[in-house]
Amino acid sequence: MTVDRIPLAGVIGSPVAHSRSPRLFSHWLRKMGLQGHYIPMDIAADKLESVLRTLPDLGFVGCNVTIPYKERVMEIADHVSDRAVQIGAANTLVFREDGTIHADNTDGYGFVENLRQNAPDWDPTGGPATVFGAGGAARAILASLLDVGVPEIRLTNRSRDRAEQLREDFGDRITVHDWVQAGNIVEGCTTVVNTTSLGMTGKPELRVPLDALEPGMLVTDIVYTPLQTRLLRVAQDQGCATVDGLGMLLHQAVPGFERWFGERPEVDDATRAAVLR
């Protein structure tokens, strides 16, 4: 008699002790009554490839990838999705039974699903979007905003050359603006997104002037520590719809969980509570 192996998954990075993913996955496994384990793995850079090639033998069906390996794993994977290629980073790996490693990026999916769930009236096609920041997360967000039909994305970043690079990579629907203009370009936008690390606990505040925020706009921050950033506070006071960044983290994990453990988990209040605990 053969006994099925209990599927294993986890998150690879360095450091990973801060990751909330183990809490998230354990919550879903418990709630859905599924067999499986999800483990944080702090791996040294020179061991990354050999670890990834060994994990399937240990019973791993895949893993998430976090800083600093989101780019490196694309060189190691045997197949990289078009989406991950476009973004230039992967956060989800699937280990196939034939021994191959498939890499994908679900950050943009998580970003859009979070907005769809928490701002059901949001119409991304209804007007331009402003995006603050042009780092790693911004790439996934630009790709997803373009995908859902945003007509124009006004992009601004402290280092303008990084924003110019994104315009080159993502095309003419992106317009680049000086960082000093950040407060002005939100005028007439239906969507405003902070993708910088400003406002995060331990970092400086996002000090962009926010007087132009007005009702009818959806404002979201991908920073989720704290949940309520200054941007979201001011936006709420000025009558905008707001969505915090925790939902992006939760939704980006859904495709991996479903693939590895066989059932699609729900993102609900209990999920948020489990991760915040």
* Residues within the interface to ligand NAP (CB under 6 A): 107, 133-138, 157-159, 162, 195-198, 200, 204, 222-224, 245, 248-249, 252
Q: Which residue is closest to ligand NAP by CB?
A: 135
Beta carbon of residue 96, minimum distance to ligand NAP (angstroms, whole number): 26
Is 252 annotated to bind a ligand? Reply is yes
Report whether 137 belongs to an annotated binding site.
Answer: yes
Looking at the Cβ atoms of 142 and 213, the one nearer to ligand NAP is: 142
Burial pattern 38-50, b for ≥16 Cβ within 10 A else e, equals bebbebeeeebee
Q: Which is nearer to ligand NAP, 215 or 277 (CB)?
A: 277
CB nearer ligand NAP, residue 100 or residue 159: 159
C-alpha to C-alpha distance for 260 and 169, rounded to whole angstroms: 32
Q: Which residue has the tokens 């701002």?
A: 119
Indicate the DSSP class of residue 36: -
Q: Residue 191 annotated as binding? A: no
- To ligand NAP, the closest distance from the beta carbon of 105 in angstroms equals 11
Instruction: Return the number of the residue (31 or 162) whose C-beta is nearest ligand NAP.
Output: 162
Residue 98 among known ligand-binding residues? no
Of 102 and 251, the one with the shorter C-beta distance to ligand NAP is: 251
- Distance CA(247)–CA(115), nearest Å, equals 8
Note if 70 is an active site residue: yes
- The whole-angstrom separation of Cα 213 and Cα 272 is 27
User: Among 31, 47, 70, 203, which one carries the catalytic annotation?
Assistant: 70
Q: Per the annotation, where are the binding residues for shikimate?
A: 19-21, 66, 91, 107, 224, 252
Provide the annotated active-site residues.
70
Q: Per the annotation, where are the binding residues for NADP(+)?
A: 82, 133-137, 222, 245
Q: Per the annotation, where are the binding residues?
A: 19-21, 66, 82, 91, 107, 133-137, 222, 224, 245, 252
